[in-house]
Amino acid sequence: MYNQIILKSGAELKSEIKERNKLYALRETRRDFDAIKVLATERMIGGADESKDVAPNENAKKHGIPVARLYEIGAELEPKGFGTGFLVAPNVLITNNHVFQTLADAFNCAANFLYERKEGSSIIQEGISYRLRPDIFFYTYVDLDFSLVYVEEIPIYGNRYLKTLDMLSLIETKGKIKLNSPINIIQYPKGSVKKYTTEDNLVTNIDDASGIIYYTTDTAVGSSGSPCFNKYWEVAALHYTGIPKTNSSGKWLAKNGEVWNPKTMGEEDVDWIANAGKSISKIVEHLRKGGFKINEKKYVEKILKNSFDPLKNVTEINQNPIHGLNNNSNMNTINMNFNANTNVYINNNNLSNDQNKLVDDIQIKNDDALLEKKERFDEDYDNREGYNEEFLNGFKVPLPTVSKEREHELYKNIESSVPYIVPYHHFSLVMNKTRRMLMWAASNVNYDPKFRDNRERADFGNGAWRLDKRIPAIYQIQAAEFYDPATLVDKGHIVRRDDNCWAELKNNETNSLGIEYANADTFHWTNCTPQHEAFNRDTAQYAGIGLWGVLENAIKEQLELPDNDSENSNKDYCQKACVLAGPILNENDPEYCDIQYPLRFWKVFAIKSKSAGNLVFGFILSQEDKIEKTGLEKEGIPRFDRKVKALQVSLKTIEDESGVIFDQSLHDVDVFLNIANVELKNNLENMKRINKI
């Protein structure tokens, strides 16, 4: 799974470092006054980047214009970014090979420039999008993990030509960056708004032979293909991967020190100790070797024409003396120790032990784990069967309804006066058109391993939400309206993605495509509600705190018990459940970006137990305390009290609070009501006993 770096001998590496540092020093002496002045301004800012989605200075803002997020085009699709790229020549964009591995991968995709937060506001500017045309030009090279693709000049919408966005030069010279120097990244992490990452961003190692630069600058999924700049905003590397901390067995570690478990932890829980980019010098060197097809050559020549070094013939290091330098230069002193096994330790007091360790025994993540995948949607909406009331053998669980007082809020068929029940794979829902989100959802959950496969969440895609064309778009809240500005808010599934990742067997074999379709169906805006991340997630960061996630995982653990009568399965639920859920939409709910968002949610689990019969559990869960503590926008690392628990309530309570009505048959087996009746009976017996005494 890992590729171990093969280090050169001490003498070879020492020679490479010496030459690169000389090149760096030579370029420094040839900076003009204006460049030095810009650097001084940046130093005055002191690297402060309190709002990372706003450029720290005008120079950063200028160099961010040619940087785009990449997304799949579709009328019903949210333009969800799955990678980053930037213009390097007229109509030519560069990104990673693992973003676009083949020409076909880039079809029906677009480059979205200027998708960013408006300065001093929560408004997200949607920017300008241009269609990618790999049929005109596409070139990819696996070893350096880069792909080049043609971008149309005229935008999909808007009136700004591509050429007005400028481009970033790919300078071949190696002396653009050195160890322990800052490296800035402009990126679209997680497919969201543009970010300028200019803090905690030191270069920790440079491998000239493989063309890899290691740094501490923060990135995330979706950052692949981002430009990495030196302090003068010259592109030094193409970001492509992250480096996890590992134990002695090579297993990834989480931030809490435990072995990272992809089933229960997210990418944000990994203890990343560095990131890595492919050297621009190495990429240009490869392009200069030639050997391109006729239709490729003219576009490669455009890149090379734009790759000149503005600091004059600095590559001729052997012919040109280093003018203007003396023994008191500002170059940092680097101490290198070499041992008999050719392990190299580059010591610098500013680097942590973990970062120093990168130089001698770092392990790089397998590229396969980093692919920017996209959900695969079933485009045939007529084949959705929706929720099955008879899913639990011998226990019918009817769809809920809505009180007469609230029926007017629901979206209804044009031809009918009844609410429109929207069917999906394994679930159905009804939309509240007044609040632009669902009123309730009902889903069939199956954790029998026969109907599942071993793929993890990241294997299905990076969360590309889409509009449901069966519901008018005006009744569906989308990312730019609420979720992108509210940086502490998740796009919360009501029907859980993992619950829905199953499919009936096909020809007695696992139906992988059906599982992908079921997964993707949960990524419709109709199934989405705003949930504070500390309420929605049950991850290492919010262990025991993410109330919604804690409840979902507790039920999942019960449903995953093996289908047998062993001691470990004394309550056999046949690994199946019917789940009814939704937000509690009150007229006095708070607003953000002119949209009301719910503070509380309800969930009902119906389970068939062999030992206890039909069981129904109802819960109301609140995220109000999370929002009170941190608001909806991220300003720092949130801290939360640990005393959070799910509150079990009766179905009648849920009805009173939400306006959603359940069938009487479910009330009859409400576990909470039965518990209350038992307690009441016991209290009455105790009262009688006390009176007799």
Q: Coil, strand or helix: which one is 116?
A: strand
pTM greater than 0.75: no
Both 422 and 341 in one domain: the answer is: no
Both 254 and 286 in one domain: the answer is: yes
- The proportion of the chain whose per-residue pLDDT surpasses 90, expressed as a percent, equals 28
pLDDT at 382 over 80: yes
Contact 570, 611 (CB under 8 A): yes
pLDDT at 689 over 60: no
What per-residue confidence (pLDDT) applies to 601? 86
pLDDT at 20 over 80: no
pLDDT band at 685 (very low <50, low <70, confident <90, very high): low
What per-residue confidence (pLDDT) applies to 598? 86
Number of Cβ atoms within 10 Å of the Cβ of 403:
12
pLDDT at 106 over 80: yes
Per the domain annotation, does 326 fall within a domain? no
Both 586 and 465 in one domain: the answer is: yes
Per the domain annotation, does 325 fall within a domain? no
pLDDT band at 434 (very low <50, low <70, confident <90, very high): very high
Both 27 and 101 in one domain: the answer is: yes
Region of 389 (left: φ > 0; alpha: ψ -120 to 50; beta: rest) is alpha
Q: Coil, strand or helix: which one is 462?
A: coil
Residue 129 phi, psi (nearest 5): -115, 140
Contact 144, 288 (CB under 8 A): no
Query: b vs e for 450-463, b when ≥16 Cβ sit within 10 Å of the residue's Cβ?
Result: ebbeeeebbebbbb
What per-residue confidence (pLDDT) applies to 675? 59
Per the domain annotation, does 686 fall within a domain? no
Both tokens assigned to 511: 């139906």
The tens digit of pLDDT for each residue in 269-326 reads 777 777 788 999 999 999 998 888 888 999 999 999 888 777 755 444 444 433 333 3
Rounded mean pLDDT, 350-369: 37
pLDDT at 28 over 70: no
- Give 426's DSSP letter: S
In terms of Cα–Cα distance, which of 295, 292, 287, 299 is closest to 91? Answer: 299
Give residue 185's domain range.
3-316+337-370
DSSP state letters, 492-549? EESS-HHHH-----BTTB--HHHHHHHHHHTTBGGGEEEEEHHHH--SSTTTTT-HHH
What is the number of domains present in the chain? 2
Residue 146's identity, in one-letter code, is F
Both 362 and 453 in one domain: the answer is: no
pLDDT band at 347 (very low <50, low <70, confident <90, very high): very low
Both 391 and 363 in one domain: the answer is: no
pLDDT at 4 over 80: no
Both tokens assigned to 142: 């696996």
Does residue 465 or residue 424 have the better pLDDT? 424
Per the domain annotation, does 693 fall within a domain? no
What per-residue confidence (pLDDT) applies to 149? 96
Number of Cβ atoms within 10 Å of the Cβ of 361:
11
Rounded mean pLDDT, 397-404: 96
Contact 577, 445 (CB under 8 A): yes
**Residue with tokens 């809240």, as numbered in its chain:** 477
Residue 245 and residue 234: Cα distance in Å, rounded?
29
pLDDT at 208 over 90: no
Contact 462, 373 (CB under 8 A): yes
Query: Which of 31-35, 111-115, 634-638 is modeled with the greatest confidence?
Result: 111-115
Per the domain annotation, does 332 fall within a domain? no
pLDDT band at 640 (very low <50, low <70, confident <90, very high): very low
Residue 118 and residue 121: Cα distance in Å, rounded?
5
pLDDT band at 400 (very low <50, low <70, confident <90, very high): very high
Contact 571, 607 (CB under 8 A): no
Q: Which CATH number characterizes residue 616's domain? A: 3.40.570.10
Both 467 and 345 in one domain: the answer is: no
pLDDT band at 560 (very low <50, low <70, confident <90, very high): low
Rounded mean pLDDT, 110-138: 88
Residue 72's identity, in one-letter code, is E
pLDDT at 199 over 90: no
Residue 293 and residue 58: Cα distance in Å, rounded?
40
pLDDT at 629 over 60: no
Q: Which CATH number characterizes residue 353's domain? A: 2.40.10.120
Per the domain annotation, does 331 fall within a domain? no
Both 401 and 357 in one domain: the answer is: no
Does residue 508 or residue 5 have the better pLDDT? 508
Does residue 222 or residue 190 have the better pLDDT? 190
What per-residue confidence (pLDDT) applies to 578? 93
Both tokens assigned to 117: 């937060």
Rounded mean pLDDT, 6-20: 56
What per-residue confidence (pLDDT) applies to 633? 52
Helix (H) or strand (E) holding 655: helix 651-658
pLDDT at 19 over 80: no
Both 499 and 568 in one domain: the answer is: yes
Rounded mean pLDDT, 535-542: 47
pLDDT band at 68 (very low <50, low <70, confident <90, very high): very high
Both 74 and 134 in one domain: the answer is: yes
Helix axes 671-692, 651-658, angle to 10 degrees: 120
What per-residue confidence (pLDDT) applies to 519? 92
Q: Coil, strand or helix: which one is 628?
A: helix
What per-residue confidence (pLDDT) applies to 175? 77
Instruction: Pick the range with the lowest mean pLDDT from 85-89, 193-197, 315-319, 355-359.
Output: 355-359
Per the domain annotation, does 498 fall within a domain? yes
pLDDT at 488 over 70: no
In terms of Cα–Cα distance, which of 548, 557, 553 is closest to 619? Answer: 548
Interacting residues of 669 by C-beta distance below 8 A, sequence separation 6+: 613, 614, 615, 616
In terms of Cα–Cα distance, which of 26, 4, 150, 28 is closest to 90? Answer: 150
Taking every pair of Cα atoms in the chain, the longest distance, rounded to a whole number of angstroms, is 111
- Give 645's DSSP letter: -
pLDDT band at 637 (very low <50, low <70, confident <90, very high): very low
- Give 571's DSSP letter: S
What per-residue confidence (pLDDT) applies to 371? 39
pLDDT at 365 over 50: no
What per-residue confidence (pLDDT) applies to 33? 45
Residue 514 and residue 519: Cα distance in Å, rounded?
9
Both 446 and 391 in one domain: the answer is: yes
Number of Cβ atoms within 10 Å of the Cβ of 75:
8
| Alpha carbon 190 to its chain's center | 4
In terms of Cα–Cα distance, which of 294, 282, 298, 318 is closest to 208? Answer: 282
CA-to-CA separations, 48 to 51, 196, 487, 625, 636, in angstroms, rounded: 9, 11, 19, 30, 14
Does residue 94 or residue 593 have the better pLDDT? 94
Both 19 and 128 in one domain: the answer is: yes
Rounded mean pLDDT, 49-56: 62
Q: Coil, strand or helix: which one is 48?
A: coil
Q: What is the mean pLDDT of the chain?
A: 74
Both tokens assigned to 300: 């490669």
Euclidean distance between the first and final Cα of the chain, in Å?
Answer: 74
Per the domain annotation, does 255 fall within a domain? yes
